[in-house]
Amino acid sequence: MIERQIRCLGPHGFYRMAYFEWPGPAQGRVTVCVHGLTRNGRDFDRLAASLAARGPVLCPDMPGRGKSDWFDHAEDYGYPTYLSAVAALLARLDGAEIDWVGTSMGGIIGMFLAALPGMPIRRLVLNDIGPLIAAEGLRRLASYVGADPSFPDLAALEADLRRIAATFGPLRPVDWAHLARVSSRRRPDGTLGYAYDPHIATAGPQAEPNDIDLWASWAPITAETLVIRGADSDILRHDDAVAMTERGPRARLVELPGIGHAPALMAEDQIALVRDFLRD
């Protein structure tokens, strides 16, 4: 894995976006993996290591997350900025066709891109997200997104992460330890906090949201699409996921029992599911 960064142009000037590249065969398929609302590119370490056997894998930290810059203007957090950031990253690929794996917010970015004329996406994997986002799940996210708790050590942060991310599924202790490590930042007072700007909540879910309808962006998508749904998800309802198999790109749907929002894509069976779908 190689840590890199690019300069992107946002509404109020340039900023640095970090990304992690897993080199693969130079002529292989390029995969871009984009994380969820409060997460970062290191969530995909295990998946990326596996997919790199077929070609390069790029995992960005979207603005305000991980090692990317935070914005001075909270209103800059939003999908127009995220799409622009991804476009800058794709420009480094000299027009190469890509495969896209997006968890939650990363899946929404992928949908928006895949719906555009001239889009470079060959295959699209949407991890527990779709064109109808349920208000119930948005309320749950709003209950903690934007808070900025501090922790005396990594063990305390991991305990809190296990609580708010319990819906990720039955992860192994080594998986939780990895997620806690890549989720942490050192605060000025020496304590630990989560590695995202709490101001991302400005463009995030509100306390009393309605369902978000993005079906208009689903209809134009032609990329072959896989939808992975946690069977207990409160963001992507079963009936809405089934509708995704009947409209637009007519996605393939796989539901994973005992998991909510969103499958961590760290277990071998989940990695194999993505790898097999992307295989030529």
Span 6-17, average pLDDT: 97
The answer to the question of residue 177 being in a domain is no
Model pLDDT, residue 204 = 65
- Residue 38, pLDDT > 70, answer yes
Q: In this predicted model, what pLDDT tens digit does every residue of 89-98 receive, in sequence order?
A: 999 998 789 9
User: Domain with 252 in it: what CATH number?
Assistant: 3.40.50.1820
Report yes or no on 115 lying in a domain: yes
Whether 155 is in a domain gets the answer no
Q: Please determine, for residue 185, whether its predicted confidence score (pLDDT) is greater than 70.
A: yes
- 14-17 long-range contacts, Cβ below 8 Å, gap at least 24? 15/63, 15/68, 15/69, 15/71, 16/68, 16/69, 17/60, 17/61, 17/62, 17/63, 17/68, 17/69, 17/85, 17/88, 17/89
What's residue 35's pLDDT? Answer: 98
User: Does residue 161 form part of some domain?
Assistant: no
Answer yes or no: is pLDDT of 54 > 80.
Answer: yes
Q: How far is CA 218 from CA 115, 227, 250, in A?
A: 7, 13, 10
Q: What is the pLDDT of residue 62?
A: 98
pTM above 0.85, yes or no: yes
User: What domain range includes position 127?
Assistant: 2-145+204-278
* Closest listed residue to residue 107, CA positions, set 195, 219, 235: 235
pLDDT of res. 195: 97
- Give 247-265 pLDDT, tens digit per residue: 999 999 999 999 999 999 9
| Average confidence (pLDDT) over 44-67 | 97
Average pLDDT of the chain to the nearest whole number? 95
Q: What is the mean pLDDT of residues 171-176?
A: 98
Model pLDDT, residue 5: 97
Considering only 15-29, 101-115, 223-237, 263-277, which range has the smallest mean pLDDT? 15-29
Q: What's residue 230's pLDDT?
A: 98
Q: Tell me, yes or no, whether 164 lies in a domain.
A: no
pLDDT in tens, 206-236: 667 899 999 999 999 999 999 999 999 999 9
What total number of domains does the chain contain?
A: 1
pLDDT band at 153 (very low <50, low <70, confident <90, very high): very high
> Would you say residue 280 has pLDDT above 80?
no
Check pLDDT > 80 for residue 26.
Answer: no
Q: Is 185 within the bounds of a domain?
A: no
**What's the whole-number mean pLDDT along residues 101-113?**
98
- Helix, strand and coil percent figures for the chain, each rounded to 5: 35, 25, 40
Q: Is residue 125 part of a domain?
A: yes
* pLDDT at residue 24 in the model: 87
In a domain, 49, yes or no: yes
Section 165-187 average pLDDT:
97
Q: What is the pLDDT of residue 206?
A: 66
